[in-house]
Each structure stands twice: as C-alpha cells, then as structure tokens.
Structure 1
Amino acid sequence: MSIHVERPGMLTTIQDWPGRVGYWKVGVPPSGPMDDLSLRLANVAVGNPEGAPALETTMSGPALRFDDETVVCVTGADAPVTVNGVPAERWTPITVPAGGVLDVGAVSGAGLRMYIAIRGSVLAEEYLGSASTFTLGTFGGLDGRVLQAGDDLAPADSATGTPAAVPMEHVPALTHSWQLAVTEGPHGAPEFFTRTDMDTILGTDYEVHFNSDRTGVRLVGPRPDWARTDGGEAGLHPSNIHDNAYSVGALDFTGDTPILLGPDGPSLGGFVCPMTVVAADRWKLGQLRPGDTVRFVALEAAAAASKNTVGLARRASLPVVFSRGGDGDDGVIARRDGLTPVTYRRSGDDNILVEYGEMSLDLALRARVHALHEAVEAISPAGLVDLTPGIRSLQVKVDPDVLPTAKLLDLLVEAEDALPDASELTVPSRHVRLPLSWDDPSTREAIQRYMHGVRSDAPWCPWNIEFIRRMNGLESVDDVYDTVFDAEYMVLGLGDVYLGAPVATPLDPRHRLVTTKYNPARTWTPENAVGIGGAYLCIYGMEGPGGYQFVGRTTQVWNHRHPLTAKGFEEGTPWLLRFFDRISWYPVSTEELADMRADLAAGRGAGVEITDGTFSLADHDEFLADNDSSIAEFRKKQAEAFGIERDAWSAAGEFALTTAQGA
C-alpha cells in the first residue's frame, strides 16, 4: 500500500512530537510541529500515539490518494476538506476508501497550518532520534525536504487506540487577534530594556510580518529605547550580548526587530530576549499568520498550564491566561554574590539560564560554565531535557511536569556550592587547522544581495573587511588578514547559527577583533562562510540568514550524509568541532576550497588537520599576565576606534533605525 502525493500543498512536511530532543548544544533544533497541539490531537483522533509522525502543511493543503481504505484526521487552521469531492469534517476521524483522494484546500479562516494524521502513521527517515523534517539541514521526514507531486509515502503500523472525534471543548480556539502567555526574562529591565520598554512590549498589539516561517515569527512594532548604549565586547547595538542559549518561544530582539523563535530556530545567539512564551501556549506560534495581531500577557511561571496536558485535560478553547501581572522579578529568579557572581534567569516555564560574572569575555567564566555543565550532567535528575552552554552561561531545560523550575533552582544552587575552583580547569583541546578562502566570492555575493534586497546604506557595506579594519583601528585590511591567520580561536559554543557552527574567540586578546552584527540581518549566507560578530568568530553550518561580518569561507563543519568516512568526523557525530577545540587557519584559493568541499561531500579527506592536546586555564592566565602591558595597549587603541565608530553611528541616526525585517 502507498499514499500518493497528487498535489503537495504548501511547505508540507513530516513532523513528529516532541521532535529532535537532546542536541540543542550542538545547534540541532527540535523541529517537530509548529502547532504541537493540533498534531497531537489529530494523532489521538485516529488512534495513534500522540507524537507519531504526521503531516504539517501551510496555507494550502495537499491532495493524497490512498491505495487502501484508510482512517485520517485533519486539524489545525480553518480549511475545506473533501474525500472524493465530498465535504468532510475536521477534528474527527474520516474514512478514505481504497483509491480515494483526500483533498485539503486553502485556509479560509483563522490560522495558518493544518495537520493530517493517518491511522498507523507514515514511515519516515529517523535522524538523531526523530522523524521530524528539518528542511534547512536536509534531514528527517522524506529526504529532509518538503513533499513534492509524485512522492509516495509508505504507511506505518503504530496505531494503538480506537479512533474517536476530538471533543469540542478540546478544539483550540483560533483567531486573528492572539494573546500569548509569557514569563518575563531572561533579559529584562533595568539591565537591558527600560521599564517603559517592558510596559510597551506588554501593552502593544504587534503585527505578524509576512517574512515569518518555522525559524521565527517576525513582528512589527515599536522600537525599544534600550537601557544601554551598546553591547560592549558583544557588539555595537544594545541588543547584542555574549552568546547564550535560546528557548523556543523566546521573543528575540535581533537589533530592533522582535522575533518569536520557532522550533526550527537557532539554539545559540547573541541577542537579548525580554519575554518567553510559556510551553503550553507555544502551539499558537504555528497558527500566527501575516496581518494577525499579537498581545503578550505576563503570567506567573507557577500558573503556567502543563504542556503535556494542554488540550487533552484542559479546555484549549478557553483563554490560557488565568493569572496576570507576571512574577514581578524582571525575569531574575535569584542572584548570588561571591568571587564569581551568579544570576539565575527565567526563560519560560521550562528553562533556567545560569549566568556567571559581569558582562565581559572571560575564559574563567566559560570554565565555570563547563564545571556546572558536568556537575548537572552527572546528577542527571529526572525531567532534565537539555544542557546548552554559552559564553558565560548554561541553559538548563527541563520538563516542568517532572522537574519544576523552583525545584531545579534548588538543585542548581546545591551544585554550585560543590563546584571546584575554575582556575584548576584542564580540558581536552584539539588543534584543528582549517583552510580559509579569504574574502571568498560567495561572501561578496551575499553582501551584494544584502545591499540590493535588504539595506544598501549599512556602515559595513560594501566590504565587511574594511568595516572590521575601521572598527578596530587597524592601518590596513592586510592587518585584518594577518590578525585572523595569526590567531588561535577557542571554541566556546556550538550551534551559534545551527549545525555544529562554532562561536570561538582568540586565546590571545591582541587577536580579538571586535565588530558588530548586521542590523537588519542578511537573508542569505553561504554555507561555511566565516564571520566575526562582537569578539567572536563563527563558521556557518549551513545556508541561511546571518549577521556576522564576513572574512572568508571554509570547509564543512557539519556532514550528516557521510559522517563515517569524511576526514575528521566520528561515528554518530556529524559535527566536526568540540567544545574547547582550538581553530587556526591556513590560506587557500577559491578553486582549492571548492575541490576540498567536493572531496568532503564525497566522504574523502578535505584539508582538515586535527592534533590532540589539552588546554590549561592556569597556563593561559600566566600567558595573559606575561603580556599584560601589550594587551592593555591593544585594547586601548581598539576601544578608541570602537568609540569613534559608535559616535559616527549615533550622529547618522543608526541606533534610531527601524525596520520590519529581522536583524
């Protein structure tokens, strides 16, 4: 038996729930349904396990022909459904006869996405523990892509229950004017936003922008006033911070643009998030359509409904917001003073972001993060879902039904008290030598696309390398070249822009070129472009948007197609790099790089040289002490150039720039 795709519909993919869990720390998003409630209810209606693979479609649904008689259920947005041309009900099991065609039309009312569950489910490519399709990474589902006309789907045999209609009181209420329950944090007032900014966020009807997708829902609304003038070492814009983990449902201010991060969104980034949608309300993100309005309503974290029972044991048609006003703590759950201050920040009702020290780049803070990571991993409490380290933070994600954040906080405080002195840190640290095509033509093309399609007057255009030179007070672009090739970059995080993409900084502060990120962001970045943002270097793991200032391009850092044979990749780990690896570059021509990339894609050697080693924080501190005066001189000159550039931005009105696109 087969299920034939006669018309694919728009962006139709296979998704399961809860998606790809446990790989957030290496930049693999969970994917899964954008509206998990509708998918789960559709599965229950046909007798499948609630998380079984089903179809998600957007705006306009598919036409599917079934060889054998089959029971299906269509849920989600308002759209006409027919079987052999005869109207059929939604939210209830319907029988498609052998040879019959199920046709799901275009959305005619509220909502954006529809879900089609097939009794027994469908077979799909399971990758890293999930069948969910991640189209940007080209894995999961059917060849990692959207369905196409002529595709054949094979049915599975996972049905365990009896088909039954979804009770009316469980059917989600769809609208064009949405309320989203949020908790404040992790980044609120008065550190990052003004009190007025926070009041504005909670008092504004934001409009959903047309440039929205599964990575994030862009919103149109007022520009914040901001509580600070810039992001310091993290970048010129006040939205810039040292990279930390994000939560799905976080309201991410990328520059001045608010974006609600979706299940295909990035795991790590350097922007502030003042609010986070609670887990039980995240299904609504999948039904937000361009032109809809969104109002954020602060909710006490303790009052957030269970994400596992929403719609099944609670009436999804009722407003989710039963308690208003929030927790009144600006998203900061607790602070601890001491030699290394600790801040515990709320990120929704299912994450705590543990943040160390002051807002500065300090490898001792990353060492502390590593020690906490290992300690929590060793405890491995029931309900722990993911641990994602950032530059000076660790995000701890839990199932709040099993491990409430109040109990998690107690566990984290206890673990903190038992941590060893960070100065004792010695970790495995490989030296990874990679090829770099300097100022690669693909990066020049990306800049030109940006100037034509996004913004032509940006200070970093038309040449990012010249902008880097200017911001750091260097004499010529040759100095930028020499600095990049002389540096040894330590990997502090992975998944900065998906799929094993490193966020790394030079071990020698004199090699730490500081710049800012694009605002608004690029809509296209070539795979494995190399860029600098703030004091950090990144290698883009795949094509997509981006904001780092380009310096060149290298070989693949993610290779899920040939992980067993490609040089440098180990079995079961399609990501090349590890935490605390030290990256250095050697120059190659554009043509040489193209050959290396082709070789790696074919599973052969690709110019990657890896040498085992260790890194000692004590030895590094000794190096810093020995070179203190020249490091201070470099930083002084750099700070002067940074200040001149910031003043020029202010005079030109750069900080007052507003845009409807993401930054």
Structure 2
Amino acid sequence: MNLTDTRIDRAADLAPTDTITQSAGCPPESRATIDSPDSATDPISDTPAAPSPTPRRIDVVRPGMQTTVQDWPGRIGYWHIGVPPSGPMDDLSFRLGNRVLGNPEGAAGLECTLGGPALRFSEPTWVCVTGAVADVRVDGVPVEQWRTVEVPAGGVLDVGAIRGPGMRTYILVAGGIEVTEFLGSASTFTLGKFGGGSGAPLRADEALTLGAPSTRLAPAVPMADQPAFAHRWELAVTEGPHGAPEFFTRDDFDTIIGTDYEVHFNSDRTGVRLIGPKPEWARTDGGEAGLHPSNIHDNAYTVGALDFTGDTPILLGPDGPSLGGFVCPVTVVAADRWKLGQLTPGDKVRFVPIRSEHAAPAAELGVRRRACFGTVLSAGRDGDDGILRRTEVDDETGVTYRRQGDDGVLVEYGTLTLDLGLRARVHALHQHLLAIGRRGVIELTPGIRSLQIRVDPAVLPIPRLLDLLAEAEAQLPNSDQLVVPSRTVHLPLSWDDPSTREAITRYMHGVRADAPWCPWNIEFIRRMNGLPAVEDVYKTVFDAEYLVLGLGDVYLGAPVATPTDPRHRLVTTKYNPARTWTPENAVGIGGAYLCIYGMEGPGGYQFVGRTTQVWNHRARPTGTAGPGVDRFPTDSETPWLLRYFDRIRWHPVEAEELLDLRADFAAGKVDITTENGDFRLADYRKFLAENADSISEFRALQADAFAEERQSWRTAGELTD
C-alpha cells in the first residue's frame, strides 16, 4: 500500500472476512458442535427430536436478579469503536454446559448473577445448569448441576440464589436460545442497550425462542473438567504491557504479585475492583497524559488487564472499555479469565506470574483450565518487564512491542509525548495489516501512539507476529506524506451542563468529597492551565478544532480527540478514584485529550459540558466486520457517528435546547452538519513550524501552572516523590 501523496480510501479498511479468525483461542469450528472424547460419555440420546409445529419457547416466570442472554466468544471485531465482546464472564462453565447438550460451544444461553430465574418450557427440553452452586429444581424437585436434565412440557426450571463460592450460574438449553443478533452476536451488553433481543436483562413474562435441539446428548460434564470455585483465587498472569521500572518501581511489581488483593463490592461485568496497597510509582506524573503517574496516552486495553485507574486496581471484564489512559502492569492469561466471572466481594485474589508459553490454550475445556494451575506450571516469570522487542524506525523514532497477555501485542511508537506524526505512523501500520488480512488476527485497535493487535496464538503465535511486524516496518512509507479523509463535524455543546454538575455531586457524596477538582471541574481546568478566568476555558474550547485520534474511549464510538493547534490544548488530570457514574454524552478533558462519553458509566475526564449522541441506537446492523474496519462490508449505515481523523467543532447551546436536540436525535430527526476535507501531515508540520514561538510561550505558561498544581498536591499528600 502506498501512502505517498495519496488519499486513503475507507474501502481499503475492509479486510477479507474469510481470513479472520473469530476469537482468541477459538478455532473456526467453535460455533459448530465439537465432538470431543472429553465432552461426553455414554450418550443418553442420539435420536433427532421430532420437529415442532410451533417454535419451542421459554416463558420467564421470574427473571432473577441479573439474568442475560450471552453467547461465546461474543461480539468480536468492534473493539476499535468501543464495543466490548461481552459474552459469558465465565466462558468455561458456559461452554462445558453447551458441549454436553450437543450444542455449538458458543450457542446462546443464560448468565445468572447472584440468583437465577424461574423458567417454564413449552415442550420437553434438555437443560444443563453450570457455574456457581445454587439450588436448582424442576417442578419443585431438586436436580444436580453439571448434568443434563429434561424439563417436561409445561415444567418449570427454578434456579435459586447462589450459595457460594462463586458469583454466576449458567443455564444452557438444548438447541440454544434464538434472538436477533446485533453486530454479529446475541450477547447482551446492558450498558449499550443492545443484544439479547431487548438489550436488557430478562423481564417477567418475557418469552425466549429456542433452536432445534441436538441429536446427541451426554449425561454430565466429567467431574475432572468442572471448574473449581473458592474464596481465594490464583490468577495466572503475564508481565506487561506497563511494567517496572518505566511506570512501577521494582518494589511495586513485587507487591502486585506478592499480595492477596480483596474483591471490592463495587464490581461488575465491566471490571472487578480490588482493594490493595497503593503503589509507590516510578514517575511523579503522567506528563501531557495527566497529573497522576498512572496516566498515559490512551491505548487499547484487553480483557483481563489489571488496570490502575489512579491508585485503584481494576481487572477489566468482558463489558469493559476498549480504550483508556491508565497503566496495566499484568494481564490475566486467556485461559484463566473465566475466573473473573466468579470473583465475589470479599474474595482474595493472588496474581501468579507465569511464562507466556506456559499458558493453557483458551480453546481447551479440560483439566488444565479447571483450577488454579498457575502455581503448578509457573517456572518463574518472563522477566522482561513486558517488553518483547525494541527497534528503531528511523534516527528519531523507536518502536516498542509490549506484551498484552498471551494473546496480544501493543505496538508503541516514539516517546511518551503527544505527536500527531506518531499517530500517522500507527495509521500506516493499521492500514498495512488490514490490507494483508493475515489469518489469526482478531482485533486491531489504534490508540494515540500505539496499535493493539490481538491474535489467536494457535493460528498466529506471538513470535511469528513479531516477525510479521518487523517485516511490515520495512514496507511502510514515510508517514510525513500521509493524506487521509478528514471531515469537519459540527456538534452542539451545553457548557457546564446540569447533568455534569449532578455527576460531580454524586461523586462528592459517594466517592470522594475532598478531590482537588471538586466542586467545579472547569475551575480546576483553569487553575491547572494558568488561565486568568473560567471564561478563558470557555473561549479555548469553542475556538479549538479537535482531531479524532481514537474511537471507543469509554465505549460506543466515543472519540478521544486533541486540538490541532497546541495552543488550544488544555491539560488536566483524571479523577482518582474514577467516577462510578457519568451522564451519556458528557464532554470532558483528561491529559491533553477531549472525550465524548458514548453512554452512561464510569469515567475520569474533567467535565466541560454535554452534547448530542455519538451512537445511534436506532441503527440495527447485523453484519460481521473484520478487525479494525470502520464500517460494515455489506451495510453503509453504522451506529457510530465519528471516524478516525474527523475534526470536531463546537457551537454553544443552552441546556434546555440540548435536551430537545437529544430527543430529536433519538427519534432520528437530526442531521449533523459535516464538511469533507483532508488531513495532510506535511501541511500540519509546516503550521507547527510557522507558529513555533507562540506555541512555546503557551506551553511554558502551562508548564508553570502544572508544576504549581503538582506542588500543591504534593503538599496535600496526593503525590509523593
């Protein structure tokens, strides 16, 4: 692919779908019945079920506390625009239950959290209940878990409260559950309000349609294959991507792998919060990325990463964010991530470092995945601080390949600075990998100065991937010649919106009242940037043109963007701890970046206001995308509004006007004004050179204010040297 003075057509982003493996550790047959000697013995039925004149169905008598439809491996191929995979949090229990019923391992079933539902079946149906121990009854008669059980026509399967240990129980049904897929999956993502048919947990009196039952059943999941539950867990982890001594001290890292962390009550499918010691940190701050040393320029996360949001460690779950600006020192290997679904508040967690080649294949369902194998297989850790390889692109730019679990690599360019030239280099590599369509690549997710590559290591081992990336560097053109489509998108902004004020109030009452950014984020932004008045913050934001560098920064097409003019870059830090609630489409600044929150959820950027939706819930595409593509191969309509290298310009609206615009947008009545154009890196660098003096003056003033704020934090005990 040649980037020399050429326009990059979006159509070039479309990799052939037949060359893309569906999921890490997931062979191509994973959505078809797998006939394995480990999965079943002594079949109790091998006669096809008679076809029914009416669809087989389940009627929900009692929905349970949080019962959702999930399939495995979930919603793959949309990580780059902020759509998480979802799917069963404990995929091991889920897949084993499907296997003994003769279903495809990925067939849709039900995940039950803390307590299960009561379900009435229209026809005789075989079921298997797996996962954490609960009281399971059919028409009032107790039945065993992990066994195939027939529920008679009109019979009720009742799954009661989980008795522990463990957090989630799974109900698998012969034939699976049939719901309309969204973005290629039936999995429910409740925060995004899609999947599972309704985008929500089960409701009383809801009906679910069942697929055709299998011709082969087994009596039970073998005892040797059943996962072991406990109140103290060992999670096998690999080092990286962000280790010592760059981000953490050596003592920090020894503490991380030598401490029993406690599971916090505020945990869910997005992430498992942990209680543990505060790191000492190897840095005093995150520079342009933020004041706290945990802050980095946004990069793609991976499920199972231990994410330090400030000083708070969080294990990212299958509904977690795809992009963010915090460091992750270790990552749970793919085969052990099922344990995240069973971690219960009060449980203890110990991270056991293993060499990446010792991790069990995620596709396995046998003994090697059932228990805490980390201590058994550990032969010391990788000992490379998460760095797989370093090379030089040219005299000025290096590239670092960081380990992200046993199934991913984070490619980082240059130093820890905000440089659009580095984002251009990331774009060139991204486009190159899409063009070659290498089999085994699962996801490609660009960050500010990085590209995350997730693979199926059984198809594309990490050492071979590193060789492939080295070959790619030799073929990439000079990024200075990059020319890419760049629309200007005009969006309304309700400055200091009442919804963001409410979020700050909630934070002060429920999380932290004494934070330096409370009670008014805009005043904090003013102070950190040395501006005379809050009106100067207002003027800077509305004068700026924000270039979209990444999507999915806090879900669903949410952009991470930075002003093209460095004199408009307001630098601030992120909440520590993070907020537990952020209003949908709040606009905030963190580090030197601006973000629009795609949906309600946690967050850490400092609020400046709120805008209209960046995700269209009315769109109902069902196509399958390859990794990192910007649109569907068969449908030009997409739910997300923005694209890489779009430019956002704000115009002010009152809060009441914004509510009307949001209502119209939700009804499909609003058109966003856009203007087509190009982004040319060579022209941009010429602009920087022509304005170098005034840019330097602005940065010096900003640096003085930043240092003053940092000193005040140090005095208050917020930072230590």
The alignment's TM-score, normalised by the length of structure 2, stands at 0.89
Q: Give yes or no for contact 2:548–2:644 (8 Å, CA) kept in 1.
A: yes
Distance 1:35 1:158 in 2: 23
Q: How many residues align?
A: 652
Aligned to 2:112: 57
Which stretch shows the higher mean deviation, 323-332 or 290-299?
Answer: 323-332
Q: Give yes or no for contact 1:169–1:317 (8 Å, CA) kept in 2.
A: no
Letter in 2 for 1:68: E
1:378 aligns with 2:420: no
1:312 aligns with 2:366: yes
Please list the CA deviations of residues 430-486 of structure 1 after superposition, one character each: whole Å capped at 9, or x if unmatched: 000111111111111111111111111111111111100000000101100010000
Letter in 1 for 2:675: T
Aligned to 1:582: 647
The runs of 5 or more residues in structure 1 that have no matched partner are: 658-663
Which stretch shows the higher mean deviation, 624-633 or 374-383?
Answer: 374-383
Distance verdict in 2 for CA 1:260–1:300, change over 3 Å:
same
Distance 2:502 2:433 in 1: 44
Distance 2:602 2:145 in 1: 36
Distance 2:389 2:595 in 1: 32
Distance 1:324 1:655 in 2: 36
Q: Give yes or no for contact 2:242–2:330 (8 Å, CA) kept in 1.
A: yes
Distance verdict in 2 for CA 1:656–1:219, change over 3 Å:
farther
Aligned to 1:452: 509
Aligned to 2:195: 140
Aligned to 1:530: 587
Distance 1:625 1:291 in 2: 56
Query: Secondary structure at the residue paired with 2:512?
Result: coil
- Of 414, 426, 435, the residue aligned with 1:357 is 414
Letter in 2 for 1:503: V
Aligned to 1:500: 557
Distance 2:435 2:318 in 1: 28
Aligned to 1:289: 344
- Of 641, 666, 685, the residue aligned with 1:601 is 666
Letter in 2 for 1:616: R
Query: Secondary structure at the residue paired with 2:538?
Result: helix
**Displacement of 1:525:** 0.8
- Of 315, 323, 329, the residue aligned with 1:268 is 323
1:655 aligns with 2:714: no
Please list the CA deviations of residues 245-295 of structure 1 after superposition, one character each: whole Å capped at 9, or x if unmatched: 001000000000100000000000000000000000000000110111010
Q: Give yes or no for contact 1:46–1:119 (8 Å, CA) kept in 2.
A: yes
Spell out the pairing of 1:236-635 with structure 2 (5 A cutoff).
Answer: 236-309=291-364, 311-312=365-366, 314=368, 316-317=370-371, 319-321=373-375, 322-337=377-392, 338-339=394-395, 340-562=397-619, 571-606=636-671, 608-635=672-699
Q: Give yes or no for contact 2:353–2:374 (8 Å, CA) kept in 1.
A: no
Aligned to 2:700: 636
Query: Secondary structure at the residue paired with 1:585?
Result: strand
Distance 1:109 1:465 in 2: 46
- Of 58, 62, 68, the residue aligned with 2:123 is 68
Distance verdict in 2 for CA 1:315–1:140, change over 3 Å:
closer
Q: Give yes or no for contact 2:224–2:366 (8 Å, CA) kept in 1.
A: no
1:227 aligns with 2:291: no
Distance 1:351 1:656 in 2: 33
Distance verdict in 2 for CA 1:60–1:656, change over 3 Å:
farther
Distance 2:167 2:504 in 1: 33
- Of 157, 161, 177, the residue aligned with 1:102 is 157
**Displacement of 1:317:** 4.2
Query: Secondary structure at the residue paired with 1:388?
Result: strand
Query: Secondary structure at the residue paired with 1:573?
Result: coil
Query: Secondary structure at the residue paired with 1:243?
Result: strand
1:28 aligns with 2:93: no
Please list the CA deviations of residues 6-45 of structure 1 after superposition, one character each: whole Å capped at 9, or x if unmatched: 1111210000000000000000000000000111011111
Please list the CA deviations of residues 344-376 of structure 1 after superposition, one character each: whole Å capped at 9, or x if unmatched: 000000010000000000000000000000111
Distance 1:319 1:303 in 2: 10
**Displacement of 1:197:** 0.4
Q: Give yes or no for contact 1:121–1:159 (8 Å, CA) kept in 2.
A: no
Letter in 2 for 1:342: V
Query: Secondary structure at the residue paired with 1:621?
Result: helix
**Displacement of 1:313:** 6.9
**Displacement of 1:67:** 1.6
Query: Secondary structure at the residue paired with 1:183?
Result: strand
Q: Give yes or no for contact 1:246–1:268 (8 Å, CA) kept in 2.
A: yes
Query: Secondary structure at the residue paired with 1:446?
Result: helix
Q: Larger relative contact order (C-alpha < 8 A, sep ≥ 6)?
A: 2
Q: Give yes or no for contact 2:167–2:344 (8 Å, CA) kept in 1.
A: yes
Query: Secondary structure at the residue paired with 1:282?
Result: helix
Q: Give yes or no for contact 1:49–1:160 (8 Å, CA) kept in 2.
A: no
Query: Secondary structure at the residue paired with 1:80?
Result: strand
1:113 aligns with 2:178: no
The runs of 5 or more residues in structure 2 that have no matched partner are: 1-55, 622-630
**Displacement of 1:378:** 1.3
Letter in 2 for 1:448: T
**Displacement of 1:656:** 6.7
**Displacement of 1:590:** 1.1
Distance 2:566 2:92 in 1: 49
Distance verdict in 2 for CA 1:602–1:571, change over 3 Å:
farther
Query: Secondary structure at the residue paired with 1:154?
Result: strand
Distance 1:519 1:171 in 2: 39
Distance 2:162 2:720 in 1: 38
Q: Supply the RMSD in Å over aligned alpha carbons.
A: 1.5
Aligned to 1:207: 262
1:186 aligns with 2:241: yes
Distance 1:182 1:646 in 2: 34
Q: Give yes or no for contact 1:563–1:571 (8 Å, CA) kept in 2.
A: no
Distance verdict in 2 for CA 1:160–1:646, change over 3 Å:
farther
Letter in 2 for 1:214: R
Letter in 2 for 1:175: A
Please list the CA deviations of residues 138-174 of structure 1 after superposition, one character each: whole Å capped at 9, or x if unmatched: 0000310001121111112263643341111110111
Query: Secondary structure at the residue paired with 1:633?
Result: helix
Q: Give yes or no for contact 1:524–1:545 (8 Å, CA) kept in 2.
A: yes
Letter in 2 for 1:547: G
Q: After the TM superposition, list the runs of 4 or more consecutive aligned residues in structure 1 that deviate by more than 6 angstroms.
A: none
Letter in 1 for 2:712: A
Q: Give yes or no for contact 2:619–2:637 (8 Å, CA) kept in 1.
A: no
Please list the CA deviations of residues 281-317 of structure 1 after superposition, one character each: whole Å capped at 9, or x if unmatched: 00000011011101001011111110001x2374624
Distance 2:620 2:565 in 1: 33
Query: Secondary structure at the residue paired with 1:345?
Result: strand
Q: Give yes or no for contact 2:352–2:374 (8 Å, CA) kept in 1.
A: no
Letter in 2 for 1:104: V
Distance 2:694 2:479 in 1: 26
**Displacement of 1:604:** 1.1
Please list the CA deviations of residues 384-415 of structure 1 after superposition, one character each: whole Å capped at 9, or x if unmatched: 00000000000000011111111111111110
Q: Give yes or no for contact 1:46–1:163 (8 Å, CA) kept in 2.
A: yes
**Displacement of 1:572:** 3.4
Query: Secondary structure at the residue paired with 1:57?
Result: strand
Distance 2:284 2:213 in 1: 56
Distance 1:483 1:532 in 2: 12
